[in-house]
Every structure is written in structure tokens, then in C-alpha cells.
């Protein structure tokens, strides 16, 4: 870039330094050697072959890279991989369990809550996080506000909202049923 004054020592031929990081990824413990400046999103996509987490901007502006870190929705493009030491990271590949789609995935399919599908993993990760977040109201306006970090350029927003509210109902039913089964 023009007038780039940043200077770094010549390192040709020197191997890139790496750090070791250990965390839980989709319920599996993993141990990795990563570059100190490696971004979680790139490590997932390029090093681990988990392409479900998408890159739409690399700047924390679009939400396509949303994953869960200890249950919180986070932009994987804004996190260094080494920051995940000891944490639980869940990606879209970890949403379905034993081959069965998560209720959010099921409702996205049933409601046609996507078109190209590129923003969709991020939308679903934000949705599953907000459905577990007691601070976020259950009305449409609150959901829309909470989801506004996830851009869908295809504009499938209406169906995404419907899908989230449908998943909320399914999850509530499941919870009621489990509670019912628990009582003698």
C-alpha cells in the first residue's frame, strides 16, 4: 500500500512461529498449532476444513462468521484462535446432534428462511444463542433488533423471523414434554 511505513525484519526462510492452543470444538477436545495471529475464522475454514462458518467481510460487520464461544454468539473473524484456550466453541457443524437437525435448522428448512444459504449458518448461530438468552425479549421487535448484526443480502429476513419464532415454540414444547415426562 502507498506510504506504508510499517517495517518488519526480513524473515525469508525462517519458519513461521506457532503456538499451541487447546479448546473444545463441537464437543470434541482439540489441540492445534496455530500462528499467533491466526484468526479463528481462518483456522476453522482453512486449517480444520470446517467451511460452514462463512466469511462475508472479515471485519465484524456482517455476522456470517457467527459461532458460539462458551454459549455466546461471537464473530469468529474478530477472534484470534489462541484466545479460545480452554473454551467451548460451537460452529454450525455442531448444531445437529446424532444426525438430527436442531429445531432451528428444522424451522429454517420448513420456513424457507434462506436463499443462497451463505449468511444462514451465521443467522442460525445468532438465533440459537438468542433463544437461550433470557435478556432478549420474545416479541418480533426484540428478535429483529437482536438479529440485526446478521445481514442477509438475499433478503430472506421475513422467513428468518418466522423460523426463529417457530423454533422458539418447538423448543418450548420440547421443554414442556420433558418436564411432563419427569413427573410421575
- Maximal CA-CA distance, the chain: 75
Q: Which does 80 bind (CB under 5 to 8 A by kind): other proteins, ligand FES, none?
A: none
For the record, the C-alpha cell of 47 comes out as 486449517
Q: Which is nearer to other proteins, 21 or 119 (CB)?
A: 119
CA 48 to chain centroid, in Å, comes to 15
Q: Which is nearer to other proteins, 32 or 143 (CB)?
A: 143
Q: Which does 147 bind (CB under 5 to 8 A by kind): ligand FES, other proteins, none?
A: other proteins
Helix (H, G, I), strand (E, B), or coil: what is residue 22?
strand
CA distance 55 to 104: 21
CA distance 31 to 22: 4
Under rule CB under 6 A, residue 162 binds ligand FES:
no
Residue located via cell numbers 445481514: 151
Under rule CB under 6 A, residue 64 binds ligand FES:
yes
Binding to other proteins (CB under 8 A) within 32-71 occurs at 35, 37-39, 42, 45-46, 49-59, 61-62, 64
Kindly indicate which of the ranges 3-11, 27-35, 44-52, 110-118 contains the residues binding ligand FES, using the contact rule CB under 6 A. Answer: 110-118
CA distance 53 to 66: 7
Q: Which is nearer to other proteins, 24 or 58 (CB)?
A: 58
Selection from 56, 8, 50 nearest residue 26 by Cα:
50
Under rule CB under 8 A, residue 120 binds other proteins:
yes
Q: Please state the length of the chain.
A: 184
CA 105 to chain centroid, in Å, comes to 13
Q: Which is nearer to other proteins, 56 or 171 (CB)?
A: 56
Question: Applying CB under 6 A, which residues contact ligand FES?
Answer: 55-58, 60-65, 75, 77, 114-120, 152-154, 156
Amino acid at each position: 500500500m502507498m506510504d506504508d511505513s510499517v517495517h518488519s525484519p526480513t524473515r525469508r526462510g525462517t519458519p513461521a512461529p506457532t503456538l499451541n492452543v487447546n479448546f473444545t470444538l463441537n464437543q470434541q477436545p482439540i489441540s492445534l498449532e496455530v500462528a499467533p495471529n491466526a484468526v479463528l475464522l481462518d483456522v476453522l475454514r482453512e486449517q480444520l476444513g470446517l467451511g460452514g462458518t462463512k466469511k462475508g467481510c472479515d471485519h465484524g460487520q456482517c455476522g456470517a462468521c457467527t459461532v458460539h464461544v462458551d454459549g455466546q454468539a461471537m464473530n469468529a473473524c474478530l477472534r484470534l484462535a489462541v484466545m479460545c484456550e480452554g473454551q467451548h466453541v460451537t460452529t454450525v457443524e455442531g448444531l445437529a446432534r446424532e444426525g438430527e437437525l436442531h429445531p432451528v435448522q428444522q424451522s429454517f428448512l420448513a420456513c424457507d428462511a434462506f436463499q443462497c444459504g451463505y449468511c444462514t449458518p451465521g443467522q442460525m448461530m445468532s438465533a440459537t444463542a438468542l433463544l437461550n438468552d433470557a435478556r432478549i425479549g420474545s416479541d418480533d421487535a426484540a428478535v429483529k433488533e437482536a438479529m440485526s448484526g446478521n445481514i442477509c443480502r438475499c433478503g430472506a429476513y421475513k422467513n428468518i423471523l418466522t423460523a426463529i419464532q417457530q423454533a422458539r415454540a418447538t423448543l418450548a414444547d420440547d421443554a414442556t414434554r420433558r418436564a411432563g415426562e419427569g413427573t410421575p
